[in-house]
Structure 1
Amino acid sequence: MHIQKFALPLLLVSICSLAKAYDPADKVIVKPGNMPIIFSVPHDGDESLGWISPRSKGATVRDADTRELAEKTADLLEKKTGKRPYLVIAKFSRKFLDVNRKEEDAQESAEAIPAYHHYHEQLAGFVTEVSSKYSGNALLIDIHGQSDDPGTIFRGSRNGTTTKRLLKRAGNVALQGPTSITGQLQSKSYQVFPAIDATDLKEDKRFNGGYIISAHGSNNATGIDAIQLEFGKRTRENASLASDFADAIIAFQNKFLTEAPASN
């Protein structure tokens, strides 16, 4: 009788534990590529992480349409060049976990930590791969959305810090000259900040880059050049954005990224 009395509660606890569990690999889209470009999309997910409660601190707003922008741009790059960028895209909601923050600030539940580690481990793996394959001449683009200035695309690089290798190799023109990514977008009538004629690399402090680019950028010995792009709400609604973004990346790659010969 005593065994039967406690069997049901134990069974319920077991069932609840299983219900709460999640597989971190199912919460992150990871797609390898074959060009020296990595897209990171941390804030357009809508899924929960087990039964974790929403975070009570920090930004939780979804960067709507940034996943679609990354995936459409990847498809167009393949169509235009025959090659695709690497993709790491969060399926989980920023309400539960923000991977663009340090681990201690990114979550309020230990249950979220496996997803946090999985996201950054996938990025780190791709960074290592492209760094080796393309002799360090590669770029991580962390894609975000903002509504503070809906008609503007903001570049973030910690004022050039996370593109240390690129600046040393090619100078400021690679980051905000006519053939930089934002320079190409400006030439297609998008409003960008900083503008290509800016006299220095100073960025808007609201959008000058978060944890992802600082953790994986070339400010680290094992990192690659990394920028954050904050696309304004109105720019994300532009039907031509993905195509224009793809063209800007192609122009930048042709000018500033030299692919290493394929190994036999």
Structure 2
Amino acid sequence: MFRPLAKGDRTSCVRVLGVVLGLVIGASGAACAQSPWLYYSVTRGDAPIILTAPHGGTLSYPFNERSCTDGQACALDTNTRQLALTTSNEFYALTGLRPYVVIAQGHRRFIDLNRSSEEAYDDQLAAPYYDYYHNAIDGFVADVRQRFGRGLLMDIHGQSAEPDTILRGTLDGLSVTEMLNALGEDALNGPGSVMRSFDEQGFKVYPDVDVPYAEQEEDPHFSGAYTVEAYGSNNASGIDTIQLEFGYDYRGGESWRDTAAALAVAMQAYHETYLSDPILPGDYNDDGTVDAADFTAWRDSLGGPAGSLPNSIVGGPIGMAHYDTWVAHFGDTLPLNAPIPEPMSGMLLVLGVAAGLFAFRSAR
């Protein structure tokens, strides 16, 4: 038989519930503090293009800020987070394909994700958040190479030194070594290239795409930092990587929306011109598998002119660099690409779980 609680019992129950609620909230807070994924938007794509944006987030991380002295840059790259995310959506609208995306939601004053781990943060509690971001990029680069053979990573930044200009950073060509060797200079400046597409859409770009590549010099202050150094195709495990520094005129106010649409068009042009047919590096007889038969194809072509072997990702006459590619990819196959589901943000997942728990408890 139901008996109303006495006042003392009610007080005890309230206290117990308060303690339980405090423990739940405390545990949730601790879990959030140990959940780096809450501070990033990470999406696996189905096109061999990766967009990264390390400096456009506004959230406070659960660790101490950097000192921001000794020349450290801690300012927000205004609207670059929105620019990158909207570019992904615009590219999907144009092509039905998703680029890979790694976007920081946390503020740069806590951690600089475009620096080495030794320079990126002051508080050691930041280490797993730094690692989460770069592990995501590293995994996506490996995925692109395995699925498509080659790809393009674009690291999205903002600069105010030349507000009406998009500055290209490739460490003066080093981070696009594979592009230049396998596809030629047109892939960087010519028809179908990202920078040429921007130019054709009315954006000012530097270096000028009409200047011959051999005469171009990138702005030394914006020629590329850690991301292009770590993931560029000059590295054996990297892909072609370009740092794009958008002047404030192209991202301030609502201008970033038009810039995102233009970048999506540029990505579509590059994808259709240079990335639409997956390749398998080292598959010199073009049968979909890197095996002993490809060694024979390499041996028989030794000394031949550049481009005479299919699926080559190095330039120059056929030589030991082509052999090294065969060794590095021996046993690889060109898989069929599986469709990738629409991305779901981590926050939606959290809200869904919370709603499910609430419904479960309410039903009891």
TM-score using structure 2 length: 0.65
RMSD over aligned CA atoms reads: 2.0
Asked if residue 32 in structure 1 is aligned to residue 44 in structure 2, the reply is: yes
Report the residue type matching 1:141 in the other structure.
M
| Amino-acid identity (%) | 38
Deviation at 1:18, TM superposition (A): 4.2
Number of corresponding residues: 249
Secondary structure in structure 2 of the residue aligned to 1:144: strand
Report the residue type matching 1:204 in the other structure.
D
> Corresponding residue for 1:61?
75
Structure 2, unaligned runs of 5 or more: 1-25, 279-333, 338-364
Q: Which has the higher strand share?
A: 1
Structure 1 ranges of 4+ moved more than 3 A: 17-22
Deviation at 1:83, TM superposition (A): 0.3
> Corresponding residue for 1:42?
54
| Cα displacement string for residues 192-232 of structure 1 (whole angstroms, at most 9, x for unaligned residues) | 00011223342101110110111011111001110000011
> Corresponding residue for 1:231?
246
- Aligned equivalents of 1:21 and 1:65: distance in 2? 25
> Corresponding residue for 1:106?
120
- Aligned equivalents of 2:68 and 2:259: distance in 1? 34
Structure 1, unaligned runs of 5 or more: 1-14
1:184-199 equivalences in 2 (<5 Å): 184-199=197-212
Deviation at 1:55, TM superposition (A): 2.9
| Cα displacement string for residues 91-144 of structure 1 (whole angstroms, at most 9, x for unaligned residues) | 111001001011111111111111111100000000000111001x20000000
- Aligned equivalents of 2:93 and 2:152: distance in 1? 20
- Aligned equivalents of 1:83 and 1:167: distance in 2? 25
The 1:125–1:20 alpha-carbon spacing in structure 2 relative to 1, beyond 3 Å, is: closer
> Corresponding residue for 1:12?
none
The 1:246–1:21 alpha-carbon spacing in structure 2 relative to 1, beyond 3 Å, is: closer
Higher Cα Rg: structure 1 or 2?
2
Query: In structure 2, which of residues 96, 103, 109 is the aligned counterpart of residue 82 of structure 1?
Result: 96
Report the residue type matching 1:252 in the other structure.
Y
Secondary structure in structure 2 of the residue aligned to 1:240: helix
CA contact (8 A) 2:231 2:238 kept: yes
Report the residue type matching 1:219 in the other structure.
N
Report the residue type matching 2:174 in the other structure.
T
CA contact (8 A) 2:63 2:126 kept: no
Deviation at 1:258, TM superposition (A): 3.5
> Corresponding residue for 1:158?
171
- Aligned equivalents of 2:63 and 2:142: distance in 1? 34
- Aligned equivalents of 2:115 and 2:224: distance in 1? 11
- Aligned equivalents of 1:93 and 1:198: distance in 2? 37
> Corresponding residue for 2:231?
216
The 1:245–1:20 alpha-carbon spacing in structure 2 relative to 1, beyond 3 Å, is: closer
By relative contact order (CA 8 Å, sep 6+), the higher-ranking structure is 1
- Aligned equivalents of 1:252 and 1:195: distance in 2? 18
> Corresponding residue for 1:171?
184
